[in-house]
Each structure stands twice: as C-alpha cells, then as structure tokens.
Amino acid sequence: MYHLTSPSTAQVNAPVVLIVDDDSVLSGSVASLLKSVGYDTRAFSGPEDMLAHPLARKAGCLILDVRLQGSSGFDLQQRLAESENRVPIIFMTGHGDIPMSVRAMKAGAADFLTKPFRSQDLIDAVAVAVASHSEFVEKQIEMDALRQRFECLTPREKQVLAGVVKGRLNKQIAGDLAVSEITVKLHRANMMRKLGARSIADVVRAGHQLELLQSGSKN
C-alpha cells in the first residue's frame, strides 16, 4: 500500500521523494513533513510497491528503512543499483550501528539517519540528496545530447576532432590525414557547427567528455 499526497496541494514539478517503511505512522509523518517544505511525496510499505510505481525512476530521493518485513533496505539498494537506478538513498533505522552505516555508505547511500532523528536533519539530508541528483540528471542529459551530436559527425570530421583535441594544428592534421589544409578547415568548421562549439576550447572540452563516455562504455 502507498499513500498519495493530495493532487490539489502537491506542488507542480516539485521534487519527488519516495519513502519505504513498513511503519505507516512514521512514513506518514515523514511524508507530511517533507510535503510541508515543498516536496511531492509517496509512501510505500514495501519495496515491491515502490518499484512498480511509475515514479520509481523519476524520484529525486529515496528514504529507506533498513529493516523491512521479509527483506532489508540493503536488498532494495542492491536491486536499484543493478537496474542502474541512481536515485540517492537516505537510510533510516532504529537499530543503527557503525558497521551498518559504513556498509550503507560504501554501497552509495547519500546519508544514514538513526531513529529518532530531528526533523531538520532529515530536511537537510533530503535537500542535499535532491540537489545532487538533479545535478547528476542535468549532466546526463548534456552528455546524451553531446553523444548524439558526435554521432552526426562524418568519419573524417571525427578524425579532425581527434586531432584538435590532441592540440594538432590544421597543417599537422592535414599531414596526418594526407589531405589539404583547406579540407581540414572545412571539416573543422562543420565539426564545430555540429557539436555546437563556438571555440577550440569548446571542442577540446567536448572531446575530453566524449573520451570519458567512450572509456566508460568499454568498462
């Protein structure tokens, strides 16, 4: 079961925060608290309901109890990681200890709160997690757009791009490719236009980002 915030009061485009806790009283109070400071909240009693919800991949933060009926928060954390869902997780527990928090943080948790925790501590933790995730999503969108622009380049334009990133002059690139310098200039102009680059610095920056993308896809 999950409890929806009222559509009439939920803020349009407000960051979505998911809460998974089999204690309905606690999850309800957490949802109300976060709703009061502008978040769109969804509370679930178990991981399956949360995973089946359409907002599971659109949330800005997940507040997760370590101990759940029939499973654990760590199990859900692993399932999300395996499905490449990068939603930041704030763990909460009434039975926390140092080894447990270390395990959570090593697995990528954004924070770890021990019950009972102060309302402000939770609000602060959520704010940091949501901001961090928003920045991550924006960067992913930018990188996806850059990848698409790169795929529009011709093979020769990609070769010229590689030469520019290495710091080669037009004359040197022309020698490397056995073409005229004028041809290199034409390819470079087309390459920059397609990448949306206004300067050589933009080209070099884009080239390094593309190298990171390509190296990441090989790992």
Which range is least confidently modeled, 66-70, 109-113, 121-125, 165-169?
66-70
Q: pLDDT, tens digit, for every residue of 29-48?
A: 999 999 999 999 999 988 99
Is 160's pLDDT higher than 90?
A: yes
Q: Which of 171, 185, 177, 87 lies closest to 130, judged by CA?
A: 87
What per-residue confidence (pLDDT) applies to 10? 43
Architecture of domain 152-218: Orthogonal Bundle (1.10)
pLDDT tier at 78, thresholds 50, 70, 90: confident
What per-residue confidence (pLDDT) applies to 90? 95
Answer yes or no: same fold for 2-135 and 152-218: no
Q: How far, in Å, CA of 204 to CA of 161, rounded?
A: 8
Is 4's pLDDT higher than 60?
A: no
Q: pLDDT, tens digit, for every residue of 105-132?
A: 887 888 989 888 899 999 999 999 999 9
Is the Cα dihedral 184, 186, 191, 192 positive or negative?
positive
Q: Which of 126, 86, 77, 122 lies closest to 104, judged by CA?
A: 77
What does DSSP assign to residue 42?
E
Higher pLDDT: 110 or 69? It is 110
152 to 67, 130, 155, 183, 202: CA distances (angstroms) = 49, 33, 9, 19, 17
What per-residue confidence (pLDDT) applies to 115? 83
What per-residue confidence (pLDDT) applies to 6? 35
Q: pLDDT, tens digit, for every residue of 186-219?
A: 999 999 999 999 999 999 999 888 875 565 445 4
Superfamily of structural domain 2-135: Response regulator (3.40.50.2300)
| pTM of this structure | 0.73
Segments making up each domain of the chain, as ranges: 2-135, 152-218
Query: Whole-number mean pLDDT of the chain?
Result: 86
What per-residue confidence (pLDDT) applies to 145? 92
